[in-house]
Amino acid sequence: MNPIQRQQRSHWLKQQAQAMGFSFCGISAARKLEEEAPRLENWLNKNHHGAMGYMANHFDKRLDPRLLVPGAKSVVSLLYNYHNPESPSSPDIPKIASYAYGRDYHKVIKKKLLDLMKLLEVEYGAIEGRAFVDSAPVMERQWAAQAGLGWTGKNTLLINKQQGSYFFLAELILDLDLEADAPIKDYCGTCTACIDACPTDAITPYHLAAEKCISYLTIELKDQIPSEFQGKMENWAFGCDICQQVCPWNRFAKKHEEPEFTSRAFLSWTEKDWQELNEETFEKVFQGTPLKRSGFEKLKSTLNFFNPIS
């Protein structure tokens, strides 16, 4: 295929992605991420994945998308905005990461990706490909950076120069020949805001000790939170936004426009509401949200651990 055809295909795809609500779309040539292998291996060897045993699985597939989609030629990276500046009614009650304010993003974004795949097939014929939303061994931040959608910040999140880091990342791995975009430079500079603000010291420059991260402790860790984190959770009951809240690039963040991400009632809960939370109320209020996947017992265990309610 000649360069002009590749360019036209890529432009068409990005237009369709934008029409579906994706904020940014970039493309990389499918290849093995050789440069990531030693970093991933070192991270795993130091047990920074904590109890997330699945992170050690499918090592080769994480590095090479062609093992996930045989014959893959392109990795399409997409960013979907979830930024919501709303906050709980009081700073003293449990906090929920803002990405979990509305409907589970897996369901919302996966449907859009599958619709985009259908459009591609209508336009260009049969395509071999798969859609991913935080659901397979895909190094999504690395691919998004390769596609020029941002850079990997010191907090290890993807940071976009135009709108910050409040994005869900998604991918299409396709056997379609597309024009690749180029990476951009790192704009973190000498800033250490995310490192300084992390209450559990989980962040060092460009490295995350996930076993210390509040998001890991309140979601992924199924056991009791270790006592060493007592008094350091800052009332985060599910996930954590601290390293994003302090990031200077998020001054450019825009509120999302996705109706499915409309905030649930718990943002206006009082201390009494949280204190009296039972499984029946949990099922009703958090149905269809990321918290539902984590479960009532995990949330209640976390609330009991740091006991923010007197």
| pLDDT tens profile 267-308 | 999 988 998 999 999 999 999 999 998 899 999 999 998 764
Q: What percent of the chain has pLDDT over 70?
A: 96
Strand partners, 28: 75
Same domain membership, residue 62 and residue 110: yes
What length does the chain have? 310
C-alpha 167/C-alpha 22 separation (Å) is: 10
Is 90 exceeded by the pLDDT of residue 91?
A: no
Same domain membership, residue 282 and residue 199: yes
- Provide the mean pLDDT of the chain: 92
DSSP state of 289: S
Is 70 exceeded by the pLDDT of residue 25?
A: yes
Same domain membership, residue 242 and residue 197: yes
10's enclosing H/E stretch is helix 3-19
Same domain membership, residue 159 and residue 112: yes
Position 166 in a domain: yes
Tokens 């920074």 sit on residue: 48
Whether 134 sits among the annotated catalytic residues: the reply is yes
Cβ neighbour number for residue 283 with a 10 Å cutoff: 11
Position 179 in a domain: no
C-alpha 304/C-alpha 310 separation (Å) is: 11
Same domain membership, residue 60 and residue 12: yes
Q: What angle do CA 98, 165, 111 make, to 5 degrees?
A: 70
Sequence-ordered list of residues with C-beta below 8 angstroms from that of 205, at least 6 positions apart, any chain: 154, 192, 195
What pLDDT score was predicted for residue 309? Answer: 46
What pLDDT score was predicted for residue 110? Answer: 95
What pLDDT score was predicted for residue 53? Answer: 65
Last residue of one domain, picked from the residues 141, 174, 207:
174
Position 121 in a domain: yes
Choose between 185 and 134: higher pLDDT: 185
Position 148 in a domain: yes
C-alpha 239/C-alpha 231 separation (Å) is: 16
- Among 44-48, 68-72, 303-307, name the most confident range: 68-72
Grouping H, G, I as helix, E, B as strand and the rest as coil, residue 16 is helix
Same domain membership, residue 120 and residue 59: yes
What pLDDT score was predicted for residue 293? Answer: 83
What pLDDT score was predicted for residue 271? Answer: 87
C-alpha 24/C-alpha 207 separation (Å) is: 25
Q: Is the dihedral of CA 143, 149, 153, 155 positive or negative?
A: negative
What pLDDT score was predicted for residue 254? Answer: 97
Same domain membership, residue 108 and residue 29: yes
Catalytic residue among 134, 175, 177, 186: 134
C-alpha 210/C-alpha 208 separation (Å) is: 5
Choose between 36 and 8: higher pLDDT: 8
State the total domains in the chain.
2
Band the pLDDT of 49: cuts 50, 70, 90: confident
Same domain membership, residue 255 and residue 150: no
Band the pLDDT of 89: cuts 50, 70, 90: confident
- Judged on CB neighbours under 10 Å (0-12, 13-18, 19+), 263 is middle
For 152-183, the pLDDT digits (tens) are: 999 999 999 999 999 999 999 999 999 999 99
Position 112 in a domain: yes
Is 60 exceeded by the pLDDT of residue 62?
A: yes
Cβ neighbour number for residue 204 with a 10 Å cutoff: 13
Same domain membership, residue 210 and residue 169: no
C-alpha 162/C-alpha 21 separation (Å) is: 16
Strand partners, 125: none
DSSP secondary structure string, 26-76?
A: EEEE----GGGHHHHHHHHHTTTTTT-GGGGS-HHHHH-GGGTSTT--EEE
Tokens of 11: 């432009």
| Mean of pLDDT values over 102-130 | 95
| Mean of pLDDT values over 17-36 | 95
| Mean of pLDDT values over 239-258 | 97
C-alpha 109/C-alpha 218 separation (Å) is: 24
What pLDDT score was predicted for residue 60? Answer: 81
Same domain membership, residue 161 and residue 225: no
Band the pLDDT of 5: cuts 50, 70, 90: confident
Same domain membership, residue 38 and residue 115: yes
| Mean of pLDDT values over 192-218 | 96
DSSP state of 164: B
Position 96 in a domain: no
User: 204 is in which domain, residue-wise?
Assistant: 193-306
| Mean of pLDDT values over 39-57 | 74
What pLDDT score was predicted for residue 310? Answer: 45
Is 80 exceeded by the pLDDT of residue 69?
A: yes
- 245, 199 Cβ separation under 8 angstroms: no
What pLDDT score was predicted for residue 83? Answer: 98
One-letter amino acid of 250: N
